[in-house]
A and B are shown apart, each in its own frame.
Chain A
């Protein structure tokens, strides 16, 4: 034991044990800067400090120390400082130290993961406990020795010959009417036939193919246990997770299938939709879903460490409903059920608007009292209004446009602009080569003020969309989870670094001076596109805005008028 009182040896031993038994490599990283054995040696050299240090180490028992890799093994210098250390070390230490020091390296390899005497004991205790459990389990299992001596039965009637009913097959042997393909039905019915007849055809579970991802009792295969909260269940049940065990290699999509399978078994009354409708979301202890996107369907479940998840209907991707990049210019895309319902609602609203107001006021702003009394004018008016109505009807439908957003006055990047009755979305096209991919921006329609065409040049047009921009934007309660505009502004600028997608008017020298009079500030996105598309967008967006008759828009137009008046006054 004497050798184990060699401080340097102990320190380096501890250190190396930590390093060599830690597969993660963390210990090594942490200890790299804190080479205690080296410190020790250094202090050791500084006459007497070594002793103090030793005591300090003893008292605090801080484990992460050591550094056997120190090349200098000078513990046994016959120098003066060493003499002091000898007070603490056992005498005779110097004799074998060289070998000991060498052996620190090999000792490391033999070390158990648990360093320290008490840990050893607990390990033993653990092993004992395991043995105990195994024993108790084994006690419940009756054991039979296969190779035991034969013990002939003591009872004579142990093997009893049973008289078979004299083969009734004899008369059945000749079945004159048994045609080749049909076996005559003797009228017997089995329990299976009965049950099959009772169970309808669709009793075959449609998620049955996912049954094979069941991980329970799989031998020699990695499995994963997850508690899944089922969002579609009625209230009491949804608070209790479904405990599943899946094969670790199963993809998330397959896990969802398996959960659906288990759900259909456990809650046969709960109607389930098809797989595409569901997604797995991260969840806390209760079944509140986090605002994170669902787990990627294509990833194996072993990749995720969550022990609790929620199966819920797939939400539209937050914060933006992604638009199909490959869709043609101006193609319509209905991205999710939610969107669809929102759109249809908006459309119905629009219809009501028209039927209610159509006669008296003209929502399209086509100039109801155009004044023209001639029938010709009337027809024109009517046509115009019809067209307008069509526009109004179609306006809330989701539609995407591809155009260029103008950045910092002259940078252009390719974006997809999606407009619906609910929101507008700006999403950078994937094929943008030069700039780093920017985050998509979604803005609820309530925050959109106006759309105008600033400039028309031969075939080209400069389109501007005005949005509300103030940091004191009220917490809005739209269904969508997108960030408020001011956040999206920061998203744009922060995400893009030097090259923001839009030059936002909130940046100095822009709109701040424009509408300084009001507490509501506006910013704008500028787009560059062909005249036709620009007009389409302008019409569509303004139609939507007019239908909603938002205060924001009125405020914007008011501010602009005031501004123009001021300008004119100045002039």
Chain B
């Protein structure tokens, strides 16, 4: 009943816990134990918002957000190495996971129990993966610097190496499907334009290289309106770029701390950040000021998930 009003932010980090926050007040609603031996690498919610998926070192877990139970409802056994990303198809039919075991897997979530329906081998540890809004293509970035675009339906793929001797840290595709961004550990962010015709796989056209940060980029993400691109970095900043011309629009600073993850609100006016000081913050982009702190984690926050909705004009 209350879930329509309840807008939550989920965060996870090095303290092996996942916390669920009431987004607009900053109050922690729930704390869930993650795996004792693992940090949280990525968080995502099922599109129906009832479950929260988290991945870490040798683990993938799904938690029920509606019950009071803090134990997972689904646990993956036999996971090797770090699982770096996961995400859901927009209907929740399937989930993808990317791991340092070189594989990106597609999991059929309708089946009970879930089973693997596709595997892609990147031949190097996969650091990042994201789903194209067309719901059939997955962009991946690997530690050896390759960027892949994989069509899960036709199982075709394309591979590009934008920069040698650099590890791709994150990839992102704009919600309007126009751009693919890949950020690496040298602080550079590469942009490709995506075009697609007649149900065929998208093609990549190099568009721009941004020297976004002086250090490690940890995440890149497009805003829901596709007009902004953010990059978070180990240099303690979040840079926000306008996709018109990829010029810098805003820079948010959390001095001396790594900014591990960030998420826009649905209207692209607010931004959540997760940083290594153990505090998640809510920023008003207009003024570049923080308006909420989410304190409770005892160590660095490395992942967050926020699902917002447009409520009207």
Contact = CB atoms under 8 A, between A and B. Distances in A.
B153 A205 contact: no
Given A191-B308, A212-B295, A214-B31, A164 B134 contact: yes
Given A150-B117, A152-B117, A153-B117, A169 B31 contact: no
A191 B311 contact: yes
Interface string A178-210: 100001001111111111101100011100110
Given A167-B176, A220-B36, A189 B312 contact: yes
A191 B309 contact: yes
Main secondary structure of the interface of B (DSSP, over half): loop
B265 A190 contact: yes
Interface string B91-128: 00110000000000101100011111111000000000
Contacts of B313: 186-189
Q: Which of A140, A161, A195, A265 has the most CB of B within 10 A?
A: A161
Contact of A141 (B73, B105, B177): B73
A188 B269 CA distance: 10
Nearest to A187: B313
B7 A212 contact: no
Q: Which of B112, B135, B296 has the most CB of A within 10 A?
A: B296
B47 interface: no
Contact of A218 (B15, B79, B226): B15
Q: Which of A146, A187, A198, A220 has the most CB of B within 10 A?
A: A146
A142 interface: yes
A214 B19 CA distance: 11
Contact of A188 (B71, B177, B267): B267
A217 B33 contact: yes
A568 interface: no
Contacts of B78: 145-147
Interface stretch (B22-30, B139-147, B160-168, B251-259): B22-30
A479 B198 CA distance: 87
Contact of B135 (A161, A196, A211, A219): A161
Contacts of A142: 73-75, 112-114
Contacts of A218: 15, 17, 298
B310 interface: yes
Nearest to A181: B249
A168 interface: yes
A58 interface: no
A161 B136 contact: yes
Interface in B13-43: 15-17, 23-28, 31-34, 36
Contacts of A199: 24-25
Contacts of A143: 74-77, 113
B73 A193 contact: no
Interface string A367-396: 000000000000000000000000000000
Contacts of B16: 219-220
A159 interface: yes
Interface string B224-252: 01111000000000000010100001000
Contacts of A175: 244
B176 A153 contact: no
Contacts of B116: 146, 148-151
B276 to A, nearest CB: 14
B297 interface: yes
B81 to A, nearest CB: 11
A173 B244 contact: yes
A459 interface: no
A143 B73 CA distance: 9
B70 A217 contact: yes
Interface string B266-288: 11111000000010000000000
Interface string B53-81: 00000001000000000111111111110
A368 B301 CA distance: 79
A144 interface: yes
How many of chain B's residues touch chain A, expressed as a range?
Answer: 35 or more
B157 interface: no
Interface residues of A, number: 59
A190 B293 CA distance: 20
Contacts of B265: 190, 192-193
Contact of B177 (A150, A164, A195, A203): A164
A186 B7 contact: no
B26 A189 contact: no
A548 B32 CA distance: 63
Contact of A205 (B26, B227, B309): B26
Contacts of A161: 134-136, 153, 199
A162 interface: yes
A137 B60 CA distance: 18
A192 B75 contact: no
B158 interface: no
A217 B25 CA distance: 21
B209 interface: no
Q: Which of A187, A190, A203 has the most CB of B within 10 A?
A: A190
B186 interface: no
A216 interface: yes
Given A151-B117, A212-B298, A191 B266 contact: yes
A134 B297 CA distance: 27
Contacts of B26: 203-205, 208
A461 interface: no
Nearest to A165: B176
Nearest to B242: A183
21 contacts: A140-B71, A141-B71, A143-B77, A144-B114, A146-B105, A147-B78, A152-B117, A158-B117, A162-B136, A164-B133, A167-B176, A188-B313, A190-B266, A192-B24, A195-B24, A203-B24, A203-B25, A204-B292, A212-B295, A212-B296, A217-B17
Interface of A: 137, 140-153, 158-164, 167-169, 172-173, 175, 178, 183, 186-196, 198-199, 203-205, 208-209, 211-212, 214, 216-221, 247, 265
Nearest 7 CB-CB pairings of A with B: A190-B266, A219-B16, A190-B267, A195-B24, A159-B153, A217-B31, A192-B265
Given A189-B313, A191-B310, 16 more contacts: A141-B74, A142-B74, A144-B74, A152-B118, A159-B94, A161-B199, A162-B90, A168-B176, A169-B176, A188-B310, A190-B265, A190-B266, A192-B7, A212-B297, A217-B17, A217-B33
